[in-house]
Amino acid sequence: MASTEVQTDGHIEVITGSMFSGKTEELIRRIERAEIAGQDVKVFKPSIDDRYSEEEVGSHNGSKWKAYVVDQDEDIDSVFSNLEADVIAIDEANFFDKSLVERCQQLADGGKRVIVSGIDQTFRGEPFEPVPSLMASAEYIDKLRAICTECGKPATKNQRLINGEPAHADAPTVDVGGKEKYQARCRHCHEVKTG
């Protein structure tokens, strides 16, 4: 991933892929490298359960990073305006609305290195905004793959399960959960109930 270590006058990097593909680990790896180089790094994540506090971006391998939690009702403009940072990292970007795309463009235009991590597909396998639009705007994209829990091949899909059964296509798009509700699957093993 040498391309993303290039220093520029402002750009957008997107780290995407399915759940369990290591996106947050990769985000943390990049922000650790930037901090070692003495760069000022600020990390943001969305509030997905109505809390408003400083929290941590954590990955399954134990790495952690203190993050500013952006509340659902908070004006993203005010959060990102006059940011004093060289590097701005945003985890779980799929929980932000589409206004994140314009904000990231402004930050990159203003000279910031913007690193965004998030899933690019819904549990139905459809594009999940705002990440696909961020990918279109980005200079660098890395799409990571997990391993399909059914067949062991590279996985890019988020399999939602309800009581162990594939979720119906009519289910709400956002349903926050972990391994109890989701599996990484390849396109051939990914199932969405219809009818």
Question: Is 148 near Zn ion (CB under 5 A)?
Answer: yes
Closer to Zn ion by Cβ: residue 87 or 155 = 155
As a whole number of angstroms, the longest Cα–Cα distance in the chain is 55
Question: Is 189 near Zn ion (CB under 5 A)?
Answer: yes
Q: Are 87 and 32 in contact (CB under 8 A)?
A: no
Question: Is 150 near Zn ion (CB under 5 A)?
Answer: yes
Q: Are 18 and 121 in contact (CB under 8 A)?
A: yes
Which one of residues 28, 67, 186, 192 is an interface residue with Zn ion (CB under 5 A)?
Answer: 186
Closer to Zn ion by Cβ: residue 31 or 186 = 186
Which one of residues 48, 136, 151, 174 is an interface residue with Zn ion (CB under 5 A)?
Answer: 151
Alpha helix locations (H) across the chain? 23-36, 76-80, 99-109, 131-137
Based on the residue annotation, tell me whether 92 is a catalytic residue of this protein. yes
Distance CA 59, CA 62 (A): 6
**AA letter at 130:** P
Active site residues: 92
Can you give the binding site for Zn ion, defined by CB under 5 A?
A: 148, 150-151, 153, 186, 189
